[in-house]
Amino acid sequence: MGRKLLLEHINVPGINTFDVYRSKGGYAAVEKALKTLTPDEVVEEVKKSGLRGRGGAGFPTGMKWSFLAKPEGVPRYLVCNADESEPGTFKDRYLMTHIPHLLIEGMIIASFALGAKTSYIYVRGEMMPQIRILEKAIAEAKNAGFLGKNILGTGYDLELYVQPGGGAYICGEETALIESLEGKRGNPRIKPPFPAIAGLYGCPTVVNNVESIAATVPIIRDGGDEYAKIGIGRSTGTKLISASGNLNKPGVYEIELGVPVEEFIYSDEYCGGIANGKRLKAVVAGGSSVPILPANLILKTINNESRLMSYESLSDGGFATGSMMGSGGFIAFDEDQCIVRNTWNFARFYHHESCGQCSPCREGTGWMEKVLHRLEHGHGKLSDMDLLVDVSKKIEGNTICPLGDAAAWPVASAIRHFRDEFEWHVTNPTEAVSRNYGLSHYADPLSKPEEVA
């Protein structure tokens, strides 16, 4: 069993209430930080922990905190990014639903470290039940003296508010989130200036993912060095993985970074194998934006080494034969799934969610959706695959925010690894609408269960 730092007490009845959370050692990290450490020492612990942003980009959290400008007389803000919308990712919803005080505790620690007196948790609007859960948890914490004026008699004041979004994937991008929190459309800002210099209301701001903020609790409680001992190489600590698709046991799992992908998919401790006795065809390992990999490449790297659930191992081989850790949205496809149809579905998603500011993204995502639609419905041409790659290349890197890249990568990688399936859709248009292509050479390299027996 791997160590659990975030979900250790997830099955304790009533852990969503202040009293039970406190009885399990909750808010001890806040006491330690506020009473025995200076804000800079808290930042130092987080730096030592090696914690990398859990929202998708993987940027070191402690370093992000140390970039925050601290001009005299200007308020600073911490905003928690709970706009979880990346297809395949549902860990933050899970954490906020079942153990909301972990996020509140992390918010207090992080706000103290950054010198923020007012902090916001920006939750996607569809998560109204979670918004109510968080508001109740905030009220409980305030009652117990962990929020409001003069927290624990230390002289530190903090107000914490929950802000709902309006239903827009783009608001997960930090500057779009800030715009939205200011009551505007979610159009990402041109950077620089970065939010650390000019963010919310033009003031220095840090935006962190829910899981990153929650992870500061065990980091402060046990110390950054202890946290850094878990994991492998520069992938320290534990990570929440959202497992979905054709798995026996989809759900949220906390793993120690470095678990082999094969173990994660097939062991009973985690996903318990592919549902209905089918074989694995492909995996999207880090949310819909990251490159899709066929079964043989997700289980083993091109050098025939076992692939691990870590930032480095998942990206081993670059985009040619690797992928990315991303947000930890792990989507498994069985042998009956159609890669063309799924790629079209994702392309439609990005077209729908493009904010429309940058022409390459606004127009390009729509073209990719249309071309993929005709391929899926038996009207494609053999030249369409090159056309799609060409369009994706013209989006990638040419937009204000990473949504353009996020839209380009799934299409380019699907064609890179599954070109024969796309071509089969063109050369067998009637068959392609009535049945799927199947496994072909990306066959699950593991033996079938019956062959083992």
Minimum distance, C-beta of residue 246 to another protein, in the bound complex (Å) = 6
- Does 90 interact with another protein (rule: CB under 8 A)? yes
Work out the end-to-end distance of the chain between its first and last CA atoms, rounded to an integer number of angstroms. 26
Report d(CA 324, CA 346) in Å as an integer.
17
- Does 93 interact with another protein (rule: CB under 8 A)? yes
Rounded to 5°, angle at Cα 248 from 242 and 249: 40
Among the residue ranges 100-108, 140-148, 245-253, 390-398, the one whose residues contact another protein (CB under 8 A) = 245-253
Minimum distance, C-beta of residue 288 to another protein, in the bound complex (Å) = 6
**Which residues neighbour 257 within 8 Å (Cβ) at sequence distance 6 or greater?**
230, 231, 232, 235, 236, 237, 238, 239, 308, 309, 310, 311
Minimum distance, C-beta of residue 49 to another protein, in the bound complex (Å) = 26
Report the residue from 246, 321, 357, 399 that binds another protein according to the rule CB under 8 A: 246
- What is the Cβ-side half-sphere exposure of residue 347, based on CA atoms within 13 angstroms? 31
Report d(CA 109, CA 220) in Å as an integer.
8
Report d(CA 129, CA 121) in Å as an integer.
14
Minimum distance, C-beta of residue 326 to another protein, in the bound complex (Å) = 14
Report the residue from 61, 163, 289, 313 that binds another protein according to the rule CB under 8 A: 163
Query: Is 185 exposed, middle or buried (CB count within 10 Å of its CB: 0-12, 13-18, 19+)?
Result: middle
Backbone region of residue 76 per phi and psi (left: phi > 0; alpha: psi in -120 to 50; beta: other values): beta
CB 375, CB 422: distance < 8 Å: yes
- Does 169 interact with another protein (rule: CB under 8 A)? yes
Minimum distance, C-beta of residue 396 to another protein, in the bound complex (Å) = 20
Site for another protein in 391-420 (CB under 8 A): none
Report d(CA 189, CA 178) in Å as an integer.
9
- Does 61 interact with another protein (rule: CB under 8 A)? no
Minimum distance, C-beta of residue 394 to another protein, in the bound complex (Å) = 24
Minimum distance, C-beta of residue 180 to another protein, in the bound complex (Å) = 7
- Does 273 interact with another protein (rule: CB under 8 A)? no
Minimum distance, C-beta of residue 224 to another protein, in the bound complex (Å) = 30
Report d(CA 218, CA 196) in Å as an integer.
25
Report the residue from 29, 104, 252, 426 that binds another protein according to the rule CB under 8 A: 252
- Does 349 interact with another protein (rule: CB under 8 A)? yes
Report the residue from 137, 147, 280, 331 that binds another protein according to the rule CB under 8 A: 331
Report the residue from 21, 346, 409, 418 that binds another protein according to the rule CB under 8 A: 346
- Does 279 interact with another protein (rule: CB under 8 A)? no
- Does 329 interact with another protein (rule: CB under 8 A)? yes
- Does 141 interact with another protein (rule: CB under 8 A)? no
Report the residue from 49, 119, 216, 242 that binds another protein according to the rule CB under 8 A: 242
Cβ nearer to another protein, comparing 46 with 290:
290
- Does 39 interact with another protein (rule: CB under 8 A)? no
Question: How many chain residues interact with another protein (CB under 8 A)?
Answer: 56
Select from 405, 288, 307, 303 the least CA-distant residue to 354: 405
- Does 352 interact with another protein (rule: CB under 8 A)? yes
Report the residue from 209, 244, 289, 321 that binds another protein according to the rule CB under 8 A: 244
Minimum distance, C-beta of residue 32 to another protein, in the bound complex (Å) = 29
Tokens at 348, concatenated: 């439609």
Site for another protein in 173-202 (CB under 8 A): 180-186, 201
Minimum distance, C-beta of residue 194 to another protein, in the bound complex (Å) = 21
Report the residue from 251, 272, 402, 429 that binds another protein according to the rule CB under 8 A: 251
Select from 52, 95, 31 the least CA-distant residue to 228: 52
- Does 85 interact with another protein (rule: CB under 8 A)? yes
Rounded to 5°, angle at Cα 326 from 300 and 63: 120
Report the residue from 100, 245, 286, 322 that binds another protein according to the rule CB under 8 A: 245
Q: Report in angstroms the alpha-carbon separations of 393 from 191, 340, 386, 389, 414.
A: 22, 19, 11, 6, 14
Site for another protein in 111-130 (CB under 8 A): 118, 124-129
Residues that bind another protein (CB under 8 A): 75, 84-90, 92-93, 118, 124-129, 159, 161, 163-169, 180-186, 201, 242-246, 250-252, 284, 288, 329, 331, 333, 337, 341-342, 345-346, 349, 352-353, 355
